[in-house]
């Protein structure tokens, strides 16, 4: 027969259990939010690719501004996730704090989040390459326009050093 002190030492009191469950739920919620942010970022990168290819500078600027906001949001959520993840692993450490279903969701959320992160990095790199190529094309066009005197509205008569007044009376 076990003594009272042995059973209380192995059992978790209700306050600690509630704290552990709260940590698990918050961690799971933040991972889900981060996953959703990455999904919206991937959608934006797809749209941005089309804008880069079409060459609309104003639309591209709009997408870049939206991208900056999403990336800032991703980093701010990650700042909260990192310490919460440490807390989660220190709290969980092999103990039963919630249902097995909830505990199994965290690794699957983390795996899908890592997959989305990798995909976002690939698409972002692809868009950077496309943008670099487009910038090079635009630089070439500008260079060509600068070297062409007729393209900028200057014509041969305007550039010549001929007299601007003519004496017609003689």
Percent of the chain with pLDDT over 90: 0
**27-86 confidence digits (pLDDT tens):** 888 888 888 888 888 888 888 888 887 777 788 888 888 888 888 888 888 888 888 888
What would the two tokens of residue 107 be? 């690794």
The pLDDT of residue 96 is above 80: no
Please count the CA atoms within 13 angstroms of the CA of 129 that sit on its side-chain side: 6
Q: Cα separation of 127 and 117, whole Å?
A: 15
Q: Cα separation of 87 and 121, whole Å?
A: 28
Task: Report pTM.
Answer: 0.63
Helix, strand, coil shares, percent, the chain, to 5: 80, 0, 20
The pLDDT of residue 6 is above 50: no
pLDDT for res 164 = 65
The pLDDT of residue 5 is above 50: no
155 pLDDT tier (thresholds 50, 70, 90): low
The pLDDT of residue 8 is above 80: no
* Mean pLDDT taken over the chain: 75
11 pLDDT tier (thresholds 50, 70, 90): low
**107-142 confidence digits (pLDDT tens):** 778 888 888 888 888 888 888 888 888 888 888 888
- The rounded Cα 51 to chain-centroid distance in angstroms is 17
pLDDT for res 163 = 57
How large is the angle between the packed helices 14-54 and 57-92, nearest 10 degrees?
160
């Amino acid at each position: 027969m076990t003594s009272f002190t042995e059973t209380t030492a192995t059992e978790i009191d209700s306050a600690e259990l509630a704290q552990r469950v709260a940590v698990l739920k918050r961690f799971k919620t933040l991972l889900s939010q981060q996953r959703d942010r990455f999904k919206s970022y991937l959608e934006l990168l797809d749209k941005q690719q089309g804008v880069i290819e079409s060459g609309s500078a104003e639309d591209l600027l709009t997408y870049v501004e939206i991208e900056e906001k999403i990336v800032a949001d991703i980093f701010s959520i990650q700042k909260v996730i990192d310490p919460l993840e440490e807390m989660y692993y220190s709290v969980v450490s092999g103990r039963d704090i919630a249902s097995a279903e909830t505990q199994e969701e965290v690794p699957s959320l983390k795996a899908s989040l890592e997959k989305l992160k990798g995909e976002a990095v690939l698409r972002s790199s692809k868009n950077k390459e496309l943008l670099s190529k487009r910038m090079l094309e635009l630089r070439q066009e500008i260079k060509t326009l600068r070297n062409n005197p007729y393209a900028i509205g200057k014509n041969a008569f305007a550039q010549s050093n001929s007299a601007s007044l003519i004496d017609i009376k003689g």
